Amino acid sequence: MKIEIIPAIDIIDGKCVRLSQGDYQQKIIYNENPLEIAKMFEAIGLKRLHLVDLDGAKAHHVINHKVLENIALHTSLLIDFGGGLKSDEDLKIAFESGASMVTGGSIAVKSPEIFLRWIEKFGAGKIILGADAKNEMIAVAGWQESTKTDIFSFIKNWHSKGIRKIISTDISRDGMLQGAATELYTKILLEVPDAYLIASGGVSSMADILELQNAGIPAVITGKAIYEGRITMVEIEEFCE
């Protein structure tokens, strides 16, 4: 099975940026116009986009919905949107602005009753669980807070409530270009074999993506490796073909 490559666009002040390990002080601006980047991804055959509102994540409510709307209007990419989704109103804004799916991480830990309501109201197919971990323990609030919940029981709990799509980031690897946490993802799939697990963080080359594919991981998010030319658009286009 061919792994699905999902490019990431992270937004601060309406611009395409990347952080390292979620640190807002380690910010690099890659493009002033996220739509330009999204169109490039579409042109090489990619179908999905992972769009993160980093301002929203900090403010605890959606901020960059106009960027989402612009990309949704001018491309055919299926967009999953995350960052700052804390209320039903935030989800309404996200879906009305063109998101196909939304990702909730901290909310599933801190307000599980709200997250469960979203699953029931919008359908599990539209809700992605964000399961971000440090040393296999779930971390929340922009990765600033560690919890006492291990990633495996966290995923299994939400899987039992209908969730099938999961984005998992090994925080120690995010933005570091040191390879993906293949071992962690393999362990997750052993626990929950039918999950649509999306690996995120650490991807530095096509070799890392192929390693994940060989391990049976269904999908991977990559951002920094593309922006820094470690993975070229030509390589992705050839892979998509």
pLDDT tens-digit profile of 21-66? 677 787 889 999 999 999 999 999 999 999 999 999 889 999 999 9
- Terminal-to-terminal C-alpha distance of the chain: 14
Segments making up each domain of the chain, as ranges: 4-240
Cβ pair 234, 19 in contact under 8 A: no
Q: Which two tokens stand for residue 224?
A: 């920094």
Q: Which of the residue ranges 15-19, 82-86, 164-168, 224-228 has the most confident prediction, judged by mean pLDDT? A: 164-168
For residues 138, 59, 104 and 49, what is the CA-based torsion angle, rounded to 10 degrees?
-110
Cβ-defined contacts of 92-100 (< 8 Å, 24+): 93/62, 93/65, 94/62, 94/65, 94/68, 95/122, 95/126, 97/65, 97/66, 97/68, 97/69, 97/72, 98/68, 98/69, 98/71, 98/72, 98/73, 99/51, 99/68, 99/72, 100/126
Chain mean pLDDT for the chain: 93
Sign of CA dihedral 171, 212, 136, 88: positive
pLDDT at residue 143, as a whole number: 56
pLDDT tier at 174, thresholds 50, 70, 90: low
CATH numeric code, 4-240: 3.20.20.70
Eight-state DSSP code of residue 3: P
Exposure class string for 16-55: b at 16+ Cβ within 10 A, else e: bbbbeebeeeeeeebeeebbebbeebbebebebbbbbbbb
The C-alpha atoms of residue 200 and residue 59 are separated, in whole angstroms, by: 23
Q: What percent of the chain has pLDDT over 70?
A: 96
- Please give the positions annotated as active site: 10, 132
pLDDT tens digits, 119-132? 999 999 999 999 99
Residue 144 has a pLDDT of: 62
* Residue 119: both structure tokens together: 């699953």
* Tokens describing residue 178: 């040191």
